[in-house]
Amino acid sequence: MSSLTRSLHVLEAVAEHQPVGVGALSRLLGQPKSTVQRTLVTLAEAGWVRGGGETTRWTLGARAMTIGRRTTSEVRLREAALEPMRRLNEATREAVHFTVPDGDRGMVVIDRLDSDQPVRTFISIGATTSLTASSTGRAVLAHRTDDEIAPLVARGLERCTARTVTDPDAWWRELQLTRTRGYAVNLGENRDNVCAVAAAVLDPGEAAVAGICISVPDVRFTSARIPDWGEQVRGAARVIMANLRR
């Protein structure tokens, strides 16, 4: 058994039986106490488990709890977004993507509905897109303060395609336009030949927790449709937010 597999088995056992001692874990897993103890210490150093009390009974650590809360949150978001995504997909006949921010690292696709047209865009669930170049990323960033965004821009704007806006002044102007109109537009800046229009989803505390977008091949994308698509993604976002408040 590899050390990674052993660690995962120990972590699963702690999650199911916490608080639990080394002896009990050893019996549950059929592994020597010394091996289980070493694995627990390694997991504790990384924040996955923690031991406490005179008899050192183990529970999940902060890192595992954070992932658990994030997973629960994403499930709730997906449930709230399912029907608005379906309606948007049917109304536009274009792909609809639903993404959540992964800190400052990017936007992660947690759900999608594909277009029924022969020429269409595609992205895998679980894929990460640029926070600064994607439409959903910019829609989310538009709801953060300039002070929160400035360090991200100062580190350098990620270039994803030849059309990515990497000049800070131009990028800030585009962000301000996103704030003004309430939706973000991406014209092949995140992926070649793919355009998108997105709006942010806010939680009850007004924090941007997700983005919903229409993703369109550039051969079918026309600037004349941007205002209509913008209002449609904003409408879908409003319905998702209403569902989250229920």
3-state secondary structure string across 33-81: HHHHHHHHHHHHHCCCEEEECCCCEEEECHHHHHHHHHHHHHHHHHHHH
- Of 159, 231, 241, the C-alpha closest to 197 is 231
Query: In the listed set 60, 86, 109, which residue is the last one of a domain according to the structure?
Result: 60
123 has pLDDT over 70: yes
pLDDT grade for 246, boundaries at 50, 70 and 90: confident
120-136 average pLDDT score: 93
Task: Answer whether residue 7 shows pLDDT above 70.
Answer: yes
Q: Mark residue 234 as left, alpha or beta (left: phi above 0; alpha: psi -120 to 50; beta: remaining).
A: alpha
Of 31-35, 60-64, 166-170, the poorest mean pLDDT is in 60-64
- Pair 211, 93 in one domain: yes
pLDDT, residue 73, reads 82
Is 2's pLDDT higher than 90? no
Instruction: Give yes or no for residue 54 having a pLDDT over 70.
Output: no
- Residue 136: CA count within 13 A, CB half-sphere: 27
Buried b (16+ CB within 10 A) or exposed e, 1-25: eeeeebbebbbebbeeeebbbbeeb
Output 243 or 73, whichever has higher pLDDT.
Answer: 243
pLDDT in tens, 207-228: 999 999 999 999 999 999 999 9
Nearest to 186 by CA among 121, 114, 102: 121
The pLDDT of residue 169: 98
- 94 pLDDT above the threshold of 80: yes
23 in helix, strand or coil?
Answer: helix
Q: Do 161 and 192 belong to one domain?
A: yes
Decide if 54 is inside a domain: yes
pLDDT: which is higher, 9 or 68? 9
Residue 37 lies in a domain: yes
Does 49 reside within a domain?
A: yes
**Which single residue is written with the structure tokens 């983005």?**
211
Inter-residue contact 100 to 112 (CB < 8 Å) = no
Both 32 and 123 in a single domain?
A: no
Q: Helices (DSSP H) in 46-190: which residue ranges? A: 62-92, 135-141, 146-154, 168-181
Confidence of residue 239 (pLDDT cuts 50, 70, 90): very high
Residue 63 has pLDDT above 80, yes or no: no
φ, ψ for residue 46 (rounded to 5)?
Answer: -90, 0
User: Which of 21-35, 93-107, 166-180 reaches the highest mean pLDDT?
Assistant: 166-180
Regarding predicted confidence, which is higher, 16 or 177?
A: 177
CA angle 130, 132, 133 (to 5 degrees): 65
Look up the domain containing 152 and give its range: 70-245
Using a 10 angstrom Cβ sphere, with 0-12 exposed, 13-18 middle and 19 or more buried, the burial of residue 240 is buried
The per-residue pLDDT for 199 is 99
Give CA–CA dist 195/120, Å, rounded.
11
Can the peptide bond before residue 84 be classed as cis, meaning omega within 30 degrees of 0?
Answer: no
Domain total for the chain?
2
CATH at residue 48: 1.10.10.10
pLDDT at residue 46, as a whole number: 87
Share of residues in the chain with pLDDT > 70 (%) = 97
52 pairs with which residues across the strands?
57
**Residue 25 confidence (pLDDT) above 60:** yes
Coarse DSSP helix, strand, coil percentages of the chain, rounded to the nearest 5 percent: 50, 20, 30
Mean pLDDT of all residues belonging to the chain: 92
Q: Of the candidates 36, 60, 84, which is a domain's last residue? A: 60
Residue 53 is predicted with a pLDDT of 54
Task: Establish if 65 belongs to a structural domain.
Answer: no
| Count of beta carbons in the 10 Å neighbourhood of residue 106 | 19
